[in-house]
């Protein structure tokens, strides 16, 4: 087993005591889906952070797996009406909120 995984296993056994081996098995179960190199990179990040848990490893794996944002697509489409920020609209919704509460109470009766 690679040294990083042995270090993680040791840290998990120290931190989790009874659950350390079970958690390590879950980390190893991620290898077929993500690949050994990716799991090792995630484990290195977790060990460097000093917080060893399955959640940390899975979080690091998901961040390593994130796909890059695609490049913008060229298009000839244009907006005929530009969107406007209308904050007054939200204020008007608050004015009507008590009425909706009263209506809800009447429905319940």
First-residue to last-residue Cα distance in the chain: 67
Angle between helix axes 36-49 and 54-65 (nearest 10 degrees) is: 120
User: What average pLDDT is seen over the chain?
Assistant: 84
Instruction: Establish if 71 belongs to a structural domain.
Output: no
Instruction: Establish if 95 belongs to a structural domain.
Output: no
Instruction: Establish if 98 belongs to a structural domain.
Output: no
Instruction: Establish if 56 belongs to a structural domain.
Output: yes
Instruction: Establish if 16 belongs to a structural domain.
Output: yes
Task: Give the structural domain span for 32.
Answer: 3-65
pLDDT, average across residues 55-59: 92
Task: Give the C-alpha separation, 27 to 52, whole Å.
Answer: 11
pLDDT of residue 54 exceeding 80, the answer is yes
Instruction: Establish if 104 belongs to a structural domain.
Output: no
Do 53 and 26 meet the contact criterion of CB atoms below 8 Å apart? no
| Residue 101: predicted pLDDT | 56
Domains contained in the chain, number: 1
Confidence class for position 59, pLDDT limits 50, 70, 90: very high
Instruction: Establish if 72 belongs to a structural domain.
Output: no
Instruction: Establish if 49 belongs to a structural domain.
Output: yes
């Amino acid at each position: 087993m690679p040294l990083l995984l042995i270090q993680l296993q040791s840290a998990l056994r120290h931190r989790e005591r009874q659950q350390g081996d079970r958690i390590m098995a879950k980390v190893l179960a991620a290898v077929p889906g993500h690949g050994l190199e990716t799991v090792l990179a995630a484990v290195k990040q977790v060990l460097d952070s000093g917080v060893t848990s399955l959640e940390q490893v899975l979080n690091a794996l998901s961040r390593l797996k994130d796909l890059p944002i695609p490049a913008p697509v060229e298009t000839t489409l244009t907006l005929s009406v530009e969107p406007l920020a209308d904050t007054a609209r939200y204020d008007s919704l608050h004015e009507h909120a008590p009425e909706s509460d009263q209506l809800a109470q009447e429905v319940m009766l």
